[in-house]
Amino acid sequence: MIRRLSELDVRGKRVLVRVDFNVPLAEDGTVRDDTRIRGALPTIRAILEREGIPILMSHLGRPKGTPMAQFSLRPVAQHLAALIGTTVHFAPDCIGHVATATVSQARPNEVVLLENLRFHPGEEENDRDFAASLAQLGDAYVNDAFGAAHRAHASISALAENFVGRRAMGLLMEREIQYLSQVFAAPRRPFVAIIGGAKISDKIRVLENLLQHADFVLIGGGMANTFLAAQGRNIGESIVDERFIELAHSLYAQYATKLYLPIDAVLSDELNDSAITTTLNTQDIPPDTELKILDIGPETVQSYRDIIQTAELVVWNGPMGVFEFKPFRAGTLGIATSVAEATARGATTIVGGGDSIAALTLAGVADQITHVSTGGGATLEYLEGKVLPGIAALEE
Ligand code: AMP
């Protein structure tokens, strides 16, 4: 059982909240994209409304265990104060008397943000003593950092052990688990998974897991090439991972009825916005060509769309082509639009991965998806079927 935030006693309590404020900063030190800060606002507000004092903790970048000015969370404190409209006390160290003093200044309806956890080596080492120092600052613990839940770090794992019976998932974490768990626990059917992206090595475990649970698995992007090569197709100079050809071959044999590969492709020998392209059936790519497969073709888009239109649950991760360049964008945009159509029809649609989310924005359908997962690496590991340390640590 994992306690929900609404079930945690926070009134008058100092509530340690692990958030994911690992945001990009501009050269002048201001916050360049505050999506992650906004993502934590519902949890922070819920604690404030119930008269708790949120003590926020996060990492930022990779300072590798020592204080580094360019990774300070101070600018985030200012940004957060403007967003939430209340005082945000900034503690220039996340543990010790500096932190204790800052926390003791905070009054009801105020917030504390602790300095970057990774300024101490204990954070990434999941060190118990470091976790115990953090634990002294709070009466209860909430983890709302789904994007960091795949890391067994002190603020995510060891810290939770100090709060048996006094720990809960935040609202963002709850939403991620609520949607992503549908993939494995009695998914609505037909369940269609769409997997793309550059490298088969990054996604092979996700793919194997989804093949077991989904009714249709549609493959695109660079990773499709390894499957096409395993089918004996010519793929020219396309990216391919020879190490996975055998596995791709056996997966295709085992799951022939549910695994779909591109039937046509957009090819080119150049990668830019004015590249000259050729569209070919994937059976007709000549041997010894110097062309590369850089997008799925229009017939593939249409056939994938037909399948997506039957779905009750859709999970999509990874672009169908090199969508950063206009000539190779149509496949990814076509899938984005089809997934949005499925949502409108009443299907549950879940999209994860930075590139797929960027594609939703490009296609103008980012608000037409049931759940856009912000987890990145955590989302992928969840879809691999792994138990995430940050989720396991919350179990009672
Ligand atoms: P990933 O991070 O694994 O989701 O991969 C995303 C990247 O895959 C994007 O930058 C795309 O440009 C790239 N990609 C998609 N399709 C292809 C392809 N056919 N060949 C090479 N790269 C691709």
Closest to 285 measured CA to CA, from 259, 258, 257, 266: 266
Residue 169: the pLDDT is: 98
Helices and strands of the chain, counted as H and E runs: 15, 15
Q: Which helix (H) or strand (E) holds 101?
A: helix 96-105
Domain definitions of the chain by residue range: 5-173, 184-384
Helix 200-213 and helix 245-254: axis angle, to 10°?
10
- Catalytic residue list contains 38: no
* Ligand 1 atom closest to 324 (CA): 12
323: CA distance to ligand 1 center in Å? Answer: 8
Q: Residue 374: what pLDDT?
A: 85
Rg (CA), the chain: 23
Contact 195, 219 (CB under 8 A): yes
Say if ligand 1 is within 6 A of residue 352 CB.
no
Domain 5-173: CATH class, spelled out: alpha beta
How far does the centroid of ligand 1 lie from the alpha carbon of residue 286, in Å? 23
Give the pLDDT score at 149.
Answer: 97
Residue of minimum CA distance from atom 10 in ligand 1: 322
The whole-angstrom separation of Cα 363 and Cα 339 is: 11
The neighbouring-strand residues paired with 193 are: 217, 315
Q: What is the pLDDT of residue 353?
A: 81
Query: How, if at all, do strands 264-268 and 278-281 pair?
Result: antiparallel
- 184-384: CATH architecture: 3-Layer(aba) Sandwich (3.40)
- Tell me which of 36, 118, 166, 329 is the catalytic residue: 36
Amino acid 261: pLDDT: 98
Q: What is the pLDDT of residue 41?
A: 97
Beta strand 140-143 pairing with 371-373: unpaired
236 lines ligand 1 (CB under 6 A): no
Same fold, 5-173 and 184-384: yes
DSSP string, 179-235: HHGGGTSS--SSEEEEE-SS-HHHHHHHHHHHHHH-SEEEE-SHHHHHHHHHTT---
Residue 375 is predicted with a pLDDT of 87
**pTM score of the predicted model:** 0.92
**Which H helix or E strand runs over 372?**
strand 371-373
Weakly modelled stretches of the chain, pLDDT under 70:
none
Q: Is 36 a known active-site residue?
A: yes
Q: Which two tokens stand for residue 53?
A: 């004092």
Integer Cα distance of 360 and 333 in angstroms: 7
pLDDT at residue number 199 = 85
